[in-house]
Amino acid sequence: MTQQPDRASPLAMLETMMLIRAYEETIVAMSEAGTGPGSCTSVGQEASAVGVVHALGAHDRILTNHRSAGHLLARGADPGRMLAEVLGRRDGYCKGKSGHLHISAKALGVILTSTIVGGELSLATGVALSQKMLAEDDGIVVCFFGDGAACEGVFHESLNLATVWELPILYVCENNQWQAFVHRRETMPVDEVRHWAAAHAIDSRSVDGNDVEAVHAAAREAVGRIRETGKPMFLETLTYRLRGHFEPDDQSYVDPAELAAWQARDPIALLQRRLLARDELTAAQLRTIERNVRARLDDATLFAEASPFPDISELITDIYA
Ligand SMILES: Cc1ncc(C[n+]2csc(CCOP(=O)(O)OP(=O)(O)O)c2C)c(N)n1
Pocket of ligand 1 (CB under 6 A): 66-67, 115-118, 145-149, 176, 178-180, 241, 245
Q: What would the mean pLDDT of 286-299 be, rounded to a whole number?
A: 98
Q: What would the mean pLDDT of 294-316 be, rounded to a whole number?
A: 96
Exposure letters 221-249 (e unless 16+ CB within 10 A, then b): ebbeebeeeebbbbbbbbbbbbbbbbbeb
Pairwise CA distance, residues 126 & 130, whole Å: 6
Ligand 1 atom at minimal distance to the Cα of residue 119: 1
* 100 falls within a domain: yes
Model confidence at 235, pLDDT cuts 50, 70, 90, reads very high
**Dist. CA 123 → ligand 1 center (Å):** 16
Domain containing 74 equals: 10-300
* 128 falls within a domain: yes
* 310 falls within a domain: no
Q: Look at residue 5 in the predicted model and tell me its pLDDT.
A: 59
Nearest CA residue ID for atom 10, ligand 1: 180
Mean per-residue pLDDT over the chain, rounded: 96
Pairwise CA distance, residues 269 & 148, whole Å: 27
The model carries a pTM of 0.97
pLDDT higher than 60, residue 2: no
CA 245 vs. chain centroid, Å, equals 15
* Percentage of residues of the chain with pLDDT beyond 90: 95
Distances (CA, A) of 234 to 194, 199, 206, 292: 7, 11, 8, 35
Model confidence at 98, pLDDT cuts 50, 70, 90, reads very high
* 50 falls within a domain: yes
The full 3-state SS of 127-179, as one line of letters, equals HHHHHHHHCCCCCCEEEEEEHHHHCCHHHHHHHHHHHHCCCCEEEEEEECCEE
> In this structure, what are the phi and psi dihedrals at residue 173, rounded to the nearest 5 degrees?
-90, 115
Q: What would the mean pLDDT of 69-93 be, rounded to a whole number?
A: 98
Q: Any idea what the CATH number is for the domain that residue 117 is in?
A: 3.40.50.970
Model confidence at 100, pLDDT cuts 50, 70, 90, reads confident
Q: How many structural domains are present in the chain? A: 1
**Structural contact between residues 91 and 104, judged by C-beta atoms closer than 8 angstroms:** no
* 321 falls within a domain: no
pLDDT higher than 60, residue 132: yes
Helix (H) or strand (E) holding 56, with range, is none
Q: What would the mean pLDDT of 198-226 be, rounded to a whole number?
A: 98
Q: What would the mean pLDDT of 241-246 be, rounded to a whole number?
A: 98
Nearest CA residue ID for atom 21, ligand 1: 146
* 229 falls within a domain: yes
Model confidence at 3, pLDDT cuts 50, 70, 90, reads very low
* 174 falls within a domain: yes
**Dist. CA 148 → ligand 1 center (Å):** 6
Q: Look at residue 1 in the predicted model and tell me its pLDDT.
A: 39
User: Who wins on pLDDT, 2 or 78?
Assistant: 78
* 54 falls within a domain: yes
Pairwise CA distance, residues 234 & 199, whole Å: 11
**Structural contact between residues 84 and 306, judged by C-beta atoms closer than 8 angstroms:** no
Q: Look at residue 320 in the predicted model and tell me its pLDDT.
A: 81
